[in-house]
Chain A
């Protein structure tokens, strides 16, 4: 087992190397550049800018320089936010997105699994139909509709919750509720459908029939024999879901005025802010591969049929 973990951890290195290399060149080959939308600057100023950021050097040399910086943990200065380095920008925004994402995903997980179990057990009855129509709505309505709708009802009409802001404002933690709710909605819907489908499959399996034939109560049959197998697909979904949700959402951050990383990410892409794009891509990939790695290991503990050698 520990051998497997070490081997998997080592295999992350070439993966990350390929990601860094590919995204470095892809970003550079995109039309435009970090200074192409600047107000008119003289040729001399532009040359000075390029020189300052080493962009006058050949691409290969820039790449090697960048690789060296990244290995030292330095993502370089941002091309657009002149006073900030990429490290600073990520450090300012990523924790916010992580906190919001973790809360949202926990909510989605509890609600999704709960609803999934209930609709599987009440298959084709009104509870099931209600839950699954709700889930379809959750998947199909875009966040920029759900967000303002929640703001309108819970914020403006009922005045229960603040409509925007961040925990540093005077509303404190209450500001988290609406954006977390909005962000969790599609994840909740997906998890509910996923767990319903796999629990239904397990319910029809032979070993559940055996458990019932042994005279176990329905509570033990579900709790001990059904849930473990039935929730495994949710575990494997958690890896990509977690890395997706904590890296922020442009829509939710814009609607609720949250200082998160999602907005910075999209802005950096539009600005061709090479170093910032790269920094974010690397962060995102690192979180994604790490999460998948963790999920794989957890899976090994949950499913005895999987053995790691």
Chain B
């Protein structure tokens, strides 16, 4: 990991218009991604993790979605201001994605070879035969046995774990600078999850690819990510190096999340901790801290205004009145 920043997300806002009102799915998210870094984004369902990353490559379905503000700078160029033809050269090439459900993410009507080759031909300018060789090589790297035979099969002939390996091979086939993995293991068996994460880590290390790993599993984050962003109701509430956050979580939500993980090294006489209450309804959210109804340390000001970001050493940032307020005094 070097210090070169390759992706800068600045104050990203993605809103969805639904019948009930305006959903601010992502509301002012900022983070930097360095070359070769693995960045984890955690949060519960509906916290805006996936929308953030679909917004990064400008794939939000419009309508109902709309990127209402912010910038996504990739090597200094704003992806959101780019014409479609130009961003298409980046998608799948410099920035590629893996999705949650490998059972539905591959086209069931096309052979794996067709789907892999079309990407390689498009972005690398190889002819079909060379592209096929490259695809076979990638499948081999992703741990698919007999890739030269299996490449001509259809997705339904692969198991879930194998399909996700195909997705990984496909997404890395153009040596992207960034791989966005949107809950790549959530739909898989626990035993397969570890294998898939391992393959992904190994390949991205080898290729020097930076990874944005979206997940709701803190266990996955702890084992793989250099940096961690915790999202809640469309905003990043805490950001910093993974090990530091696990050591000393600052935001009450992060603290709650970490306490909710079952641990082997603690006696299991106690009941497992869980954060009380429900995730907020994000339709027409007022300008308060959305976590205050569930927060053990809620204060009056939490109901009135969203806390400013408080910065700490080692690049940590927390949005909570416990810290923002203290700094003002």
Contacts and interface: CB of A to CB of B under 8 A. Distances in A.
Interface in A194-247: 205-207, 209-218, 220, 224-225, 228-229
Contacts of B90: 215
Given A214-B92, A225-B110, A304-B156, A209 B59 contact: yes
B107 A220 contact: no
Contacts of A170: none
Contacts of A69: none
Contacts of A124: 63
Contacts of A213: 57, 59, 91-92, 96-97, 99
Contacts of A40: none
Interface string B89-102: 11111001101010
Contacts of B119: 214-216
A228 B115 CA distance: 14
Interface string B36-58: 00000000000000000000010
A217 B96 CA distance: 15
Interface residues of B, number: 31
A303 B109 CA distance: 6
13 contacts: A206-B101, A212-B59, A213-B91, A213-B92, A213-B99, A214-B118, A215-B93, A217-B85, A217-B88, A229-B109, A302-B109, A304-B111, A305-B156
B119 to A, nearest CB: 5
Contacts of B107: 207, 210-211, 225, 229
B260 interface: no
Contact of A206 (B59, B104, B109, B170): B104
B150 interface: no
Most chain A CB atoms below 10 A, which of B107, B110, B170: B107
A215 B91 contact: yes
Contacts of A205: 104
A305 B59 contact: no
Contacts of A229: 107-109
Interface residues of A, number: 23
A305 B88 contact: no
Contacts of B123: 215
Contacts of A211: 107
A302 B154 CA distance: 12
Interface of B: 57, 59, 63, 84-85, 88-93, 96-97, 99, 101, 104-111, 118-119, 122-123, 154, 156, 167, 170
Nearest to B114: A224
Contacts of B84: 218
Nearest to B118: A216
Contacts of A225: 107, 110
Contacts of B156: 304-305
Contact of A207 (B59, B85, B104): B104
Contacts of B118: 214, 216, 220, 224
B127 to A, nearest CB: 17
A224 B91 CA distance: 18
Interface string A291-309: 0000000000011110000
Contacts of A303: 108-109
Interface string A170-205: 000000000000000000000000000000000001
A61 B4 CA distance: 94
B109 A215 contact: no
A210 B154 contact: no
A124 B88 CA distance: 25
Given A210-B105, A212-B91, A215-B88, 8 more contacts: A211-B107, A213-B92, A214-B92, A215-B91, A216-B92, A217-B85, A229-B108, A305-B156
Contacts of B57: 213
A21 B118 CA distance: 55
Nearest to B180: A213
B109 A216 contact: no
B122 A216 contact: yes
Contact of A215 (B101, B105, B122): B122
Contacts of B122: 214-216
Contact of A305 (B85, B93, B105, B154): B154
Contacts of B170: 214
A224 B59 CA distance: 19
Contacts of B91: 212-215
B220 to A, nearest CB: 21
